[in-house]
Chains A and B, each alone.
Chain A
Amino acid sequence: MTGPRTLYDKLVDAHVVAPLDESGETVLLYVDRSVLNEYTSPQAFSGLRDTGRGVWRPEALLGVVDHVNATTPRRTAEMPDAGGAEQVAYFDRNCRDFGIELFDVLHPLQGIEHVVAPELGLILPGMVVAAGDSHTTTYGAFGALGFGIGTSDIEHMLATSTVVYRRLRPMRVEVTGQLSLGVTAKDLVMALIGEIGADGASGYAIEFAGEAVSALSLEGRMTICNMAVECGARGALVAPDQKVFDDLATRPRAPHGDLWARALAAWGTLRSDPEATFARGVVLAGEAIEPMVTWGTSPDQAMAIGGRVPDPDLAATPSRRRDAARALDYMGLSPGMALEDIRIDRAFIGSCTNARIEDLREAAQILRGRRVASGVRGLVVPGSSAVRRQAEAEGLDRVFLQAGFEWRQSGCSMCLAMNDDVLAPGERCASSTNRNFEGRQGAGGRTHLMSPAMVAAAAVCGRLADVRRLGA
């Protein structure tokens, strides 16, 4: 029907219910699956109630409480504040009334939505998944087109299993060669964001490719697809390969038997055609990527750990100078300061970007036999209750506790601090999360993004540190 197509084009084409303009740029797009949370969904359900509309396909949906719950070690149904309690109660009522499966805070499979859905095997290659959270891009690691939507579009998706969608332009990000020892998927995606800027992929869907991407574990691919939204990509894909199929084969809700065999045959074709053209291409050399940290208040204000805080006066344009100066003022940093001289108060390992089992293993490896520096408070919040149990089975909880970290229950926690895990004004945190925005982890709080192993290294040293010197 058409010429060579990219994987992104194929996924969109396969889900077009109807074009909504003459060019076919805006389409009514079918959504195979979604996850819902307690904080972006309430007004969507209220919209359905107000108009007397139903949910088109409740069995395609999973509700998970994750954003507002406490992560204190002993799990209770109690929420940290009245607003959160009201959201959770309304979420429970909505899921019940509309027939949607819910993992509430006491459910043994509760966790961060983007960690839980893949654990169940709900995310399959070739799917379109739209959900009320920007980090829905995570699912690209499976060769599924995942993207975030607002609450109005959640309501639309609930009522119709579709969204009004404008096609993005495909962009290819190739990472050649191999990542060096101590360099992780997080460093790769932070290097990309630093290279192309916080809007460098705005209007694009990224397809990650190249030897270094193929070598990443499925969890590492989830990390890069998750954080691709921080350079503006509202979709990020890795063509599915044997690693994906092997993982799904172990998941409880992935297809079985005859369906599995048919699915496998179809999934093998999910890749960009060799002649397909991309609107933009970026090539990074894997060997050149070093452990990364952010110094400012935007994820693109990032550099290798060996660097120094940049001088705003050297920025290219007056507006960039102003933005960089404001960021340094907020972060309480001076130009020229070595990044490794920045002292921290808190260390946080958690979030849908970096709280799966491999992340916890990597951090624990650094912490084994070491202690958190005096004055530093460390928190580990596993990505899901299942990850927590797995880590305990491997003895990682003991490693964290013996190193002086707190070992918590699952949730989004201090990634966005909607619960009671919050930085105090002026506190500085080494964080394995995805956003270093002003106030993100608490009003006046200062966030430095990095990999989980780098957080562990910073916790031990009491300041930002190169994990490679601690034997990563």
Chain B
Amino acid sequence: MQPFRSVTGVAAPFPAANVDTDVIMPKQFLKGIDRAGLDRGVLFDLRFDADGAPRPDFVLNQAPYRGAPFLVVGPNFGCGSSREHAVWGLAQLGVRALIGISFAGIFFDNCARNGLLAITLPADDHARLLALAAQPADHPFTIDLEAQTIRAGGELIPFVVEAPRRHALLEGLDAVGLSLARAAEIRAFEARHHALNPWLTPVEGRSRAG
């Protein structure tokens, strides 16, 4: 996972509420068994018309915002389906951070697992940054995760990322590896848990295929 320390770039305003993961990554891009080519699918019906040509009125198709590493998004961003394809696609498109008011829970975790920084701000800070994002030439954003600040247009706006998530993002850590280092703890917990609740110990399925 790519570490996130400090990143500078343009922030694109995309403030619609309740943007769901069906809209972020439509179903026709979910048919793979790998993660390839998902950048094309991001916000597909908003970015492209029925013939596959870019819609000139969509923010990410406009010159200053093409390839923007940050999006300033609306409330409840990423709601709906658990599909991590939405986050893989955003990351492949070059998006490094999302600045929002609230994120859906599964999407928020998916971001953290892929080095995509999701920042939750109070409404007034969010509104100031949204206004600055409308003037991209004058106001590049610098997001510093170590300092937990966003610098833009003379503003210095603090944000908070809880410690375990911040640590994983800063270092680009492999969560599975970290947890497997606790294998003995997991095994001990499991033994206690199943001794206390023996009906929870799973038994081999009775109708395995093949």
Interface residues, chain A, with chain B CB atoms under 8 Å away: 14-15, 17-18, 20-22, 25-26, 28, 30, 32-33, 39-40, 42-43, 46-47, 51, 53, 56-57, 59-60, 62, 68, 81, 83-84, 86-87, 90, 92, 95-96, 101-104, 107, 109, 124, 126-127, 132-134, 147-153, 155-156, 159-162, 164, 166, 168, 198-199, 202-203, 230, 232, 234, 252-253, 255, 259-260, 262-263, 266, 298, 300, 319-320, 322-323, 326, 416-418, 435, 437-440, 443
Contacts and interface: CB of A to CB of B under 8 A. Distances in A.
B200 A153 contact: no
A18 B185 CA distance: 8
Contacts of B27: 416-418, 439
B200 A319 contact: no
Interface stretch (B15-23, B60-68, B138-146, B147-155): B15-23
Contact of A149 (B35, B82, B186): B82
A156 B193 CA distance: 20
Looking at A42, A103, A149, the one whose CB has the most chain B CB atoms below 10 A away is: A149
B80 A62 contact: no
10 contacts: A26-B163, A30-B193, A40-B82, A59-B205, A103-B207, A107-B207, A134-B81, A153-B113, A164-B179, A199-B79
Contact of A43 (B34, B197, B198): B34
B75 A199 contact: yes
Given A102-B208, A150-B82, A160 B179 contact: yes
Interface residues of B, number: 65
Contact of B106 (A150, A259, A439): A150
Interface of B: 15-18, 20, 22-23, 26-27, 30-35, 45, 74-76, 79-84, 87, 102-107, 109-110, 113-114, 162-165, 175-177, 179-180, 182-183, 185-186, 189-190, 193, 197-200, 202-210
A147 B105 CA distance: 10
A262 B199 contact: yes
A101 B84 contact: no
B197 A266 contact: yes
Given A17-B189, A18-B185, A320-B17, A232 B198 contact: no
Contact of A198 (B18, B185, B202): B18
Contacts of A17: 182, 185-186, 189
A393 to B, nearest CB: 21
